[in-house]
Amino acid sequence: MDHDLAVRQKMTEKYLLDELDAKAREEFEEHFFDCTVCAFDIRAGAMFIEQTKATLAESPTEDSATRIAPSPVKSGWFSSWRPSLVLPAMALLLAIIGYQNVVTYPQLRQKLNSPGVLPFASVNIGTYGSQPPLIRAQKGEDFLIFLRIPPEGEFASYTADLYDPAEKLEWSVAIPATSAQDQWPIHVPAKNRAAGVYSLVARGVDIRGESKELGRASFELQIEK
């Protein structure tokens, strides 16, 4: 799961409200463990919820001899929010938003707008009997894969599946099929990956949506300290 998709689908809010199914929850957890923005949002949201729960749990002491009949209030969730409870929660929320606007987002914008050279490797599907290409990357650094899929049959599109050294599927990416192109650059976002040999499996997808495996290739990721 990439960050843009997580933002569009409001995954942070749904995660905190426990509105995700098991599969979506697992995918989002794998994402925010490596995404500083989503991880910060999760921590901030959890702090906000805990602070709100703690504030709402506080009840005023009541004299057993003298009881004042409560005034009628409107039913609904917001009826429990008194000014004395809202102010601390709002102060925390404003602090979170301020930190994001002043520190987190400017740092991310600066990183995205700064030019740089990424590690890369050319990976050819269906190549046998050769050493896998080597990618040397810093821990948590993006890299590029120039994937070559030999033309075979008439396909409406392709997919490429990335498997980690433990043969666990990390992600799948859709690739458009064009007659004038057999190599595509794939941007692999930053993640604290383990060093080792990764596999790419390419599949062709016909107009009926049926897929056929076209081959696989591998590359070795070396993490530099």
Q: Are residues 185 and 156 in the same domain?
A: yes
Q: Are residues 109 and 124 in the same domain?
A: no
Q: Are residues 88 and 158 in the same domain?
A: no
Q: Are residues 101 and 142 in the same domain?
A: no
Q: Domain holding 139: CATH number? A: 2.60.40.1930
Residue 19: which domain range?
Answer: 3-59+81-113
Is 9 a member of any domain?
A: yes
Q: Look up the pTM and report it.
A: 0.51
Q: What is the pLDDT of residue 87?
A: 55
pLDDT reading at 152 higher than 90: no
Q: What is the pLDDT of residue 165?
A: 94
Is 64 a member of any domain?
A: no
Q: What is the pLDDT of residue 60?
A: 52
Model confidence at 180, pLDDT cuts 50, 70, 90, reads: low
More confident residue, 144 or 25: 144
Q: What is the pLDDT of residue 2?
A: 75
Q: How many domains does the chain have?
A: 2
Is 187 a member of any domain?
A: yes
Q: What is the pLDDT of residue 65?
A: 45
Q: What is the pLDDT of residues 72-121, one digit of tens each?
A: 544 444 445 455 555 556 666 666 666 555 555 555 555 556 677 788 99
SS (H, E, C) the chain: CCHHHHHHCCHHHHHHCCCCCHHHHHHHHHHHCCCHHHHHHHHHHHHHHHHHHHHHHCCCCCCCCCCCCCCCCCCCHHHHCCHHHHHHHHHHHHHHHHHHHHHHHHHHHHHHHCCCCCCEEEEECCCCCCCCCEEEEECCCCEEEEEECCCCCCCCEEEEEEECCCCCEEEEEEEECCCCCCEEEEEECCCCCCCEEEEEEEEEECCCCCEEEEEEEEEEEEEEC
Q: Are residues 127 and 105 in the same domain?
A: no
Q: Which of 97, 113, 129 is the last residue of a domain?
A: 113
Mean pLDDT of 208-212: 89
